[in-house]
Amino acid sequence: MKNSLFNLEGKNCLITGGAGLLGRYHAEAIVEAGGNVFIADILEDDAKMLALELCEKYNTKNATGVFMNVLDKLSISNAISQIKKVDILINNAAKDPKIKKENNATKDFTRFENMSIEGWKAGLDVSLNGTFLVTQAVINNMLETDTEGVILNVASDLGVIAPDQRIYRKDTDSFETQSVKPIFYSASKWAMIGMTKYLATYFAEKNIRVNSISPGGAFNNHPESFVKKVSNLIPMKRMANVDEYKGTVIFACSDASSYMTGQNIVVDGGRSVW
């Protein structure tokens, strides 16, 4: 990758929610491109364990696990102080409620008709407020160090289209008790794309590029019936593999996309085209 447009040697990349399902593969992508990755997560042990795994897998010292609570400014500041100079930020932390066999209390929480204002705020907190707080701190670091930085917000295909609640539906449940993807998930992901465009134009003169990626659902041992329902909505007839977003992440974080800012890259197997 040394002479490649995709080369990230010498670049420091901070990933929030880095110990999560997709965070792991974002981190792999950065290391594979030669960058230094700082895996930030509120689950500090998981972040450090993942960093150790990546160092062993790639025979490198380029992965570090750090503690970060994206809703706590001191925690964010402490993590950035360990990095000193942030070249790339991937805002990956999110609250993504999984639709499983839930009791009625959980369904009452997720359904719009019964959602409390506390539930609404809690659902927005990590994706929206966390993205704001971390991005603000990182951009200030970039300005102080005169860094031509990159911000990549991990949104969702549900930041572009509405969730198709039929894929969660069970014939045994009434309308009022069906499991649903809650409104705060869509609202936070749409907002992240809006923030992307706002920040891209705001900081363009400072050579800080801001883009977002909207991935579709990645297969993670979902029930066969669910996979079939989702696959029927996708032209490519399948969910994503967990490592299929790595190429897009590297493109967005590297000089390969040096003239791109304010864009939302949808990678969903064509689902949003239909």
pLDDT at 169: 86
pLDDT at 107: 55
For residues 195-209, give the mean pLDDT.
98
Quickly list DSSP for 5-22: TT--TT-EEEEETTTSHH
Domain membership of residue 232 (yes or no) is no
The pLDDT mean for the chain works out to: 93
CATH number for the domain that contains residue 142: 3.40.50.720
At residue 101, does pLDDT exceed 50? no
For residues 48-57, give the mean pLDDT.
98
Nearest to 256 by CA among 143, 157, 155, 150: 150
For residues 176-199, give the mean pLDDT.
93
Domain membership of residue 251 (yes or no) is yes
For residues 178-190, give the mean pLDDT.
93
pLDDT at 98: 57
At residue 105, does pLDDT exceed 50? no
Domain membership of residue 216 (yes or no) is yes
Domain membership of residue 70 (yes or no) is yes
pLDDT at 175: 77
Q: Is 90 helix (H, G, I), strand (E, B) or coil?
A: strand
pLDDT at 1: 52
At residue 109, does pLDDT exceed 90? no
For residues 45-60, give the mean pLDDT.
98
Q: At residue 181, what is the residue type?
A: K
Q: Is 247 helix (H, G, I), strand (E, B) or coil?
A: helix
Domain membership of residue 76 (yes or no) is yes
64 DSSP β-pair partners: 38
Domain membership of residue 170 (yes or no) is no
For residues 233-260, give the mean pLDDT.
97
At residue 3, does pLDDT exceed 70? no
List, for residues 125-148, the tens digit of each pLDDT value: 999 999 999 999 999 999 999 999
Residue 255 is part of which domain span?
Answer: 12-98+126-165+188-222+241-269
Token code pair at residue 109 = 């929480």
Domain membership of residue 133 (yes or no) is yes
Domain membership of residue 1 (yes or no) is no
Total number of domains constituting the chain? 1
At residue 218, does pLDDT exceed 80? yes
Q: d(Cα 274, Cα 162) in Å, to the nearest integer?
A: 12
Q: In percent, how much of the chain has pLDDT > 90? A: 88
* E strand or H helix that includes residue 248: helix 246-253
Q: d(Cα 31, Cα 13) in Å, to the nearest integer?
A: 10
pLDDT at 110: 85
